[in-house]
């Protein structure tokens, strides 16, 4: 059992788990079942899925981590925070032990009343790590964006596909 919490990146909602039994990272891919041509990169045919994090823990109305006893309203507030993070599809960060997992969105959430720990909820969730590719914008001058003369660019479409010049561009 390790200290684990989840925090919404934009809302600041925080849920601290009193006990966390499972924190595991999942990596998966779809591998083709058909033959690939010899000499080709196999990685071109493999579809990697978003990395995931599976978390199973307990939130209670009485916690030493949070300074003592809490009311039933506090427990319901923690449950509502989890539901709000799920419903809003907000990016979250999970802190577990000394590791931090960022850019996560709750994909599946299961909250069950669990009286074996007193007033408590057992929480199972699957989170997916979002990937944000970086993009660069290429800037071209007007002459580079269309390398042909203005006269060629303004010709009618009859010059494409069998017109008077046989369907070829003229520079």
Please tell me the pTM assigned to this model: 0.63
Neighbour count for residue 2 (Cβ, 10 Å)? 14
Asked whether the beta carbons of 94 and 17 are under 8 A apart, the reply is: no
Tens digit of each residue's pLDDT (9 = 90 or more) over 56-98: 988 887 655 555 556 778 888 889 999 999 999 999 999 988 8
Strands (E), 28-69: 29-30, 47-48, 52-60, 62-63, 68-69
Q: What's the structural domain count of the chain?
A: 1
Instruction: Give dist(CA 9, CA 92) in Å, integer.
Output: 5
Asked whether residue 171 is assigned to any structural domain, the reply reads no
Residues in the chain: 171
What pLDDT, on the 0 to 100 scale, is given for residue 141?
62
Instruction: Give dist(CA 40, CA 34) in Å, integer.
Output: 14
Check whether 157 has a pLDDT greater than 50. no
Asked whether residue 144 is assigned to any structural domain, the reply reads no
Check whether 136 has a pLDDT greater than 60. yes
What pLDDT, on the 0 to 100 scale, is given for residue 82?
92
What pLDDT, on the 0 to 100 scale, is given for residue 43?
67
Asked whether residue 140 is assigned to any structural domain, the reply reads no
Q: What are phi and psi of 93, to 5 degrees?
A: -125, 135
Q: What are phi and psi of 68, to 5 degrees?
A: 115, -155
Q: Would you place residue 120 in the very low, low, confident or very high pLDDT band (cuts 50, 70, 90)?
A: confident
Q: What are phi and psi of 57, to 5 degrees?
A: -155, -175
Q: Facing residues of 108 across strands?
A: 126
Asked whether residue 137 is assigned to any structural domain, the reply reads no
Instruction: Give dist(CA 90, CA 84) in Å, integer.
Output: 9
Asked whether residue 157 is assigned to any structural domain, the reply reads no
**CATH assignment at residue 59:** 2.40.30
Instruction: Give dist(CA 171, CA 122) in Å, integer.
Output: 72
Tens digit of each residue's pLDDT (9 = 90 or more) over 37-63: 776 676 677 888 888 999 998 888 765
Radius of gyration of the chain (CA): 28
* Residue 24 structural domain: 4-129
């Amino acid at each position: 059992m390790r200290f684990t919490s989840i925090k919404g990146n934009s809302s600041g909602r925080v849920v601290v788990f009193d006990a966390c039994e499972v924190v595991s990272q999942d990596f998966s891919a779809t591998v083709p079942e058909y033959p690939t041509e010899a000499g080709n990169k196999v990685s071109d045919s493999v579809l990697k899925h978003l990395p995931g994090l599976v978390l199973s823990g307990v939130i209670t109305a009485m916690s030493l981590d949070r300074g003592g006893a809490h009311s039933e309203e506090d427990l319901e507030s923690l449950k509502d925070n989890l539901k709000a993070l799920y419903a809003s599809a907000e990016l979250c960060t999970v802190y577990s032990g000394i590791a931090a997992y960022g850019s996560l969105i709750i994909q599946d959430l299961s909250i069950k009343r669990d009286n074996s720990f007193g007033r408590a909820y057992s929480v199972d969730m699957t989170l997916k790590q979002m990937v944000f590719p970086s993009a660069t914008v290429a800037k071209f001058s007007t002459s580079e964006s269309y390398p042909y003369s203005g006269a060629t660019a303004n010709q009618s479409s009859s010059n494409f596909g069998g017109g008077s010049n046989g369907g070829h561009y003229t520079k």
